[in-house]
Amino acid sequence: MKSTFELPDELIEQARRTARREGTTLRALVEEGLQRSLEARRQASERAFDFPTFGGTGLTDAFQGASWNDLRDEIYRGRGG
């Protein structure tokens, strides 16, 4: 499929120089970069969030499944927040 993109001149020139130096094509270089970018985004979205705890075992039973708003309200209760 053909597509048209507007990119900064300096970026294209750097890419062309790199492609020439490495004996490849601008198309191959752009395709590789796009594939790497998409893969990095896919991997980032699959990372599990590890909820940090400090000296404990996590949330108490009262807060298991609580919303962030409920947690925040409890954290700041009585502190003027």
pLDDT tens digits, 7-33? 999 999 999 999 999 999 999 999 999
pLDDT value at 73 more than 80: yes
Residue given tokens 């404990």 in the structure block = 56
Give the confidence band of 61 by pLDDT, cuts at 50, 70, 90.
Answer: confident
Mean pLDDT across 51-73: 82
With cut-offs at 50, 70 and 90, classify the pLDDT of residue 80: confident
The CA-based angle 46-49-53, given to 5 degrees, is 165
Distance of CA 10 to the CA centre of its chain: 26
Length of the chain, in residues: 81
Distance CA 62, CA 73 (A): 14
Decide if pLDDT at 79 tops 60. Answer: yes
The mean pLDDT value of the chain amounts to 88
pLDDT value, residue 48: 66
Report the pLDDT value the prediction gives residue 81, as an integer from 0 to 100: 57
Q: Is the dihedral of CA 71, 50, 44, 11 positive or negative?
A: positive
